[in-house]
Structure 1
Amino acid sequence: MDKTKALMALQIQAQQLQSPSLPSTTPIFYRNLEARLDTRRQSHRLLQLHTSSHTIDFSSNDFLSTASSGLLRTAFLAELANHPTFPVGSTGSRMMDGNTSYVEQLEREIADFHGADTGLLFPSGYDANVAIYSTIPLAGDVVVYDELVHASIHDGLGLTQAAEKRAFAHNDVDAFRETVAAVRDAHAAIREGRSTVLVAVESVYSMDGNVAPLREMVRVAREELSPRGNVQFVVDEAHSTGLVGEKGNGLVSIVLGNQTIRTNLVNYARGLIYTTAPGFPTLAAVRASYRLLIDGKTVELQSQLQQNLRYFHHSIQSHPLWPKATAAHILAIPAGKDYAQKPFLTQIVPIWTRARDNHHLAAHIHFGDMTAWPVDYPVVPKEQGRVRLVFHAGNDRQQIDRLVGVIMEWAGEMLEMNETGAFPTSLAYWLALANHQVTIVERSPHLRASGAQIDIREQGIPVLQRMHLLSTIRDQRVHEAGMAFLDPTGTVHGTILANTSGQGAQTLTSEYEIMRGDLVRTLYAATKDDVQYIFGVSVERFEQPQPEKNKKLTVFFSDGSSDDTFDLLVGADGQGSRIRQAILPADAPDPYRRLGVHVAYWEVPTTEGDSAVCDMCHFPGGRVVLRRTQNETRSHVYFAFKDDSQELSGGVLHRAPVEKQREFFARRFRGAGWLTERFLHALEMDSTAEEEEEEENFYCQEVVQVRVQQWVKGRVVLLGDAAQCPSPMTGMGTTNALVGAYVLAGEINRNPEDLEMALQEYQAKMRGFVRQIPVLNSGVLRFLMPQAGWGVTLFHFVIGWICWLRIPELVARYTPQESHRWKLPDYEYE
């Protein structure tokens, strides 16, 4: 366990951004390379080499456990003993001095075992695939390939001479038929039998472990290309070696075929011609492995592996949480569907999760002293994640029970986290700490863990520190290096970097940038054991206590139920708060201060050129586009504009159907410049998605500030944006909610017998806090979102000089963190 924790700690440490802290003297070549690596670091997906551990193996390709059991070692040493004068090292390419009678005899033995005419060994399966697809398809041929074939096949196809390459949907026989027919119709040489269609598939796919429907595909190829018969199947069997067929006669890094194929590879495969041949010890290990197969010494191991797989699928599907976890889409194991009826189960069993959840599951498995690895887009579909399990003949039932227990323990935690909302949990934390009974009512039926990137600043940081959550939040940060200011041509006029020195104040980019969903999950995990949560309902109305009868509130819920046991109702229901509307007098001033600013945000794929710096581009017409990299596969874009016209006031746009909102923003920004067309194209692509996915990926709102004089009425109090919304443009919304929750709970705890006094003290203290939050007046907004082209030029001129003089960096670094006029109160908890 200690070694596993140390490994995880090193992995986390390695994810810290490097390019912002490089010395100014570092050559641009290395700065650019580190910037590219930072796109992986910021999503905690930087790959590293590490030595194998002694944890329980659910990861390696030692499927039959011949390596771990010592069986292969014994056979290998015996092979070496049979050749006491074997050479050490290689003398060159097989075309020169690297070919031996030993390797040719080995190729004949392997070919005989598989029933092939001949074979040709390559240093690796990767080299074999690249050699095949860069050499065998001729000009005029067409390669039709399954969309999920191995990366080595894709790399080989990048070098092919073939006239065309066409993918078909994974393991979809109908899609394969359509693709072959389309190729036939498009190429006269194929129709007339003068050129060949090569079909690239894997027998057992390396990622999802499913099996290609080869029998059906061969039938389709014959039907569509009959009577010419000009089709050849190229089957990669790297993951069926020793497992499928009589005695496990799958393939490894050898190309099996007839003499024509072999001779062409010898003459044209650069990966063979210009590569040093494998040395004798490597060839001896291959021969020892095959002797185990040929002599039938692995048959029992094949049977044991199948028993292990059936035991795993039975155990996990029999777990009490399995039906609920799969129904909630926490996890899925397609490889286990109808496992009892399948004659053969593949050793690769991927667990499907939602994107990013796979890393949480893999961490759980690692901390359980087992090895399994997460896999992300683009290897798997964008919205999914995988944890790839590989089973072995040597795994015993105790190990499998342990694995199932860890997986379902994680699933149980995810189910709990899937059922709650956001900032009321911070208040619940402090109230529960003081032994108050707390109930959170959430309108959503499940965890609302989506949303944009948010930042935590100033007094919000010590609040999280006092909650003992700051280190957790630090590990979940989006590593945004700073903010760059661009014009419509993409020219950068200035960059303000984040202050990561650990000293001084924050700049435009906070040191604590985090996705809203990660903060939600963290706050929930800290409160779930001490707080009651009710989901899928909201507060419809309430009745204040009647002093002569009782001191309790009666709350009426949207499901028709009511409860008369509450001492306090906290309205933490956002800037559109219904609780606020209920406590304000009828003649109260409009709480909304409308800024004329409208914003939409959605998700786009991250591309190679996207850096860890947030890009802000200004356009005439009061338009601004912001791009922020979330991780190496996803970025968020924000399209904002300022328009004070009556046509858009009062939230008219934001009450329109989502599709109308999309169309409006597309019209408003079409042709603006920079990368807007790319971002709008992503928006159009998402418009074909299912409705629930659209709502998750596209959000539109009017930017307003909320100001009310009355935060308290009787036993009802407002919190966060419901009480005072500073607007997202100030970057203080999250901090306002965290600080407000801390102060409200602290005053209740300080005045346990006088709730009225506690609420008044809360209101008085928090008014002092919100007064320090910057006010966005019309002049500031006109400068930040200029209407005229000259205004955009002026803005970039000013920001360019400010950045050139390093004013933001100097101000941040030499402004003490505790320089805020408002000081965070201290409260004592037993």
Structure 2
Amino acid sequence: MKDFPKKLQDKLDERRTNNALRLLKSPNNLIDFSSNDYLGFSKKNIIFKNAHQFLKDHNITQNGATGSRLLSGNHKLYYEVEQQLCEFHHSPSAVIFNSGYDANIGFFSSVPQRGDIILYDEYIHASIRDGISMSHAKGYKFKHNDVAALEKKCEHERHRNSKETNIYIVTESVFSMDGDTPHLEKIAQVSKQHNAFLVVDEAHATGVFGKKGVGLIQHLNLEDAIFARIITFGKALGCHGATILGSDILKQYLINFSRSFIYTTALPPHSLATIYTAYQELKHSTAIGKLHENIRYFKAEIVTHKLEHLFIESHSAIQCCIISGNANVKSISKNLQHHGFNVKPILSPTVPSGQERLRFCLHSYNSKKEISEVLKLLATFVTS
């Protein structure tokens, strides 16, 4: 075997020097303040049992999809699950992708065309950035959650481009690294004013906000203002996959031109059954209410322990404590884990240098005692 390329080894060495080398670690039994399983659905026994029963009721004993959806993998369950998604999310159509990453690179690499403009929040998810980099359109970022900055960029691009230029505005309803939310109503107004196409990633809002966890777009009655919504199932729904919601013609376009849809083996029937069952559970779950109780309690305890100056303002399940420096934030994370709390550090370059943080993910199953104890420990470590 040849030696490993020196250029690649140098990049790994640089990560080690910056205390930023990523490693895969084994699962642990620590108290969960790190996973995206906000409602505990990933471990919910009734969802597992009902998914199995759903397959039995449909007389399905198939393990794999056998091919892409355009070849042999378009199982009959796809129609049933996509119809369920349309009804639940008030959308004309839904097309299921294998993951949120696949959905985002599939959309942004195929929908915006050469000569089009993509205006995206500077904190947008890496999967969207990757999709934009694969597009023939030009992408420009705007300052995080700054509607005035977005409006200026829209005016600038409309002034210097032809009428045939399409502008796509891209944001998230809850940002994964900050847990905060943009002013979606104002962004929708800017989009309408400049005849732009608004795209919103709802990965961390679905199952958390709105009646029955429909997400922030429906909670704010903005469905008709959105060109496309990206919904992922790997967070609050506790399973796998994603969907893009939009018009019937958008679905037809994606089926024909989205390469991450066309050239991949489809999800197996069991994944579809789990998605269907998780949505059924979401309709009557009490976990959403419990999650929001815990969010309110966590925020109150931040004030109790005089930590509010370190935390980014957020009303979501993601609460972030800024601790500058990879070494510093890793040290405090390690101390919390040593005391039994699984709180993960977010390091640069994932976030900008100086904005390193502890990312607390809250869940319906966290107890108030756990929340109080972890923040009491945090207060001790940041002041010591």
TM-score normalised according to structure 1 size: 0.42
C-alpha separation in 1, matches of 2:355 and 2:141: 21
Secondary structure of the equivalent of 2:356? strand
Secondary structure of the equivalent of 1:29? coil
Deviation per residue, 1:295-343 (Å, 9 max, x gap): x222x21111111111111112112x548xx4xxxxx11225xxxxxxx
C-alpha separation in 1, matches of 2:106 and 2:260: 6
Shift of 1:399: 1.1
1:398 aligned to which of 366, 369, 382: 369
Specify the alignment match of 1:55 in structure 2.
30
C-alpha separation in 2, matches of 1:145 and 1:313: 29
2:202 is the alignment partner of 1:217? no
2:280 is the alignment partner of 1:291? yes
Superposed, 1:260-275 pairs within 5 Å as 260-275=249-264
Q: Which has the higher contact order (CA 8 A, sep 6+)?
A: 2
Specify the alignment match of 1:138 in structure 2.
113
Shift of 1:111: 1.2
Specify the alignment match of 2:226 in structure 1.
none
C-alpha separation in 2, matches of 1:380 and 1:128: 23
CA contact (8 A) 2:75 2:269 kept: no
2:304 aligned to which of 318, 324, 344: 318
Deviation per residue, 1:95-117 (Å, 9 max, x gap): 10011221122111111110001
2:216 is the alignment partner of 1:235? no
Shift of 1:142: 1.0
Deviation per residue, 1:16-60 (Å, 9 max, x gap): xxxxxxxxxx84434443332121122332212223211110111
1:81 aligned to which of 42, 56, 69: 56
C-alpha separation in 1, matches of 2:134 and 2:297: 44
Secondary structure of the equivalent of 1:200? strand
Specify the alignment match of 2:323 in structure 1.
353
Q: Which moved more, 1:153-162 or 1:242-251?
A: 242-251
C-alpha separation in 2, matches of 1:171 and 1:78: 44
Deviation per residue, 1:598-639 (Å, 9 max, x gap): xxxxxxxxxxxxxxxxxxxxxxxxxxxxxxxxxxxxxxxxxx
- Identity over aligned residues, as a percent? 31
C-alpha separation in 2, matches of 1:219 and 1:117: 22
Shift of 1:364: 1.6
Higher strand share: 1
Which residues of structure 1 form unaligned runs of 5+? 1-25, 327-331, 337-344, 414-830
Shift of 1:258: 0.8
Letter in 2 for 1:173: V
Specify the alignment match of 2:311 in structure 1.
333
Shift of 1:122: 0.5
CA contact (8 A) 1:69 1:394 kept: no
Specify the alignment match of 2:211 in structure 1.
246
C-alpha separation in 2, matches of 1:314 and 1:71: 33
Deviation per residue, 1:536-579 (Å, 9 max, x gap): xxxxxxxxxxxxxxxxxxxxxxxxxxxxxxxxxxxxxxxxxxxx
2:20 is the alignment partner of 1:34? no
C-alpha separation in 2, matches of 1:70 and 1:212: 35
C-alpha separation in 2, matches of 1:147 and 1:361: 28
1:206 aligned to which of 164, 176, 184: 176
Letter in 2 for 1:384: Q
Specify the alignment match of 1:408 in structure 2.
379
Shift of 1:183: 0.8
Secondary structure of the equivalent of 2:42? coil
RMSD: 1.7
C-alpha separation in 2, matches of 1:369 and 1:84: 44
Shift of 1:83: 3.2
Superposed, 1:181-192 pairs within 5 Å as 181-189=155-163
Shift of 1:136: 0.7
Specify the alignment match of 2:265 in structure 1.
276
Secondary structure of the equivalent of 2:323? strand
1:302 aligned to which of 288, 292, 295: 288
Specify the alignment match of 2:78 in structure 1.
103
Letter in 2 for 1:241: T
C-alpha separation in 1, matches of 2:130 and 2:253: 19
Indicate the structure (1 or 2) with the bigger Cα radius of gyration.
1
Letter in 2 for 1:72: I
CA contact (8 A) 2:191 2:198 kept: no
1:112 aligned to which of 87, 105, 128: 87
Shift of 1:239: 0.7
Which residues of structure 2 form unaligned runs of 5+? 216-230, 233-241
C-alpha separation in 2, matches of 1:269 and 1:355: 39
CA contact (8 A) 1:365 1:372 kept: yes
Letter in 2 for 1:355: G
Shift of 1:174: 0.8
Specify the alignment match of 2:359 in structure 1.
388
Deviation per residue, 1:69-96 (Å, 9 max, x gap): 4343233233233234331112101110
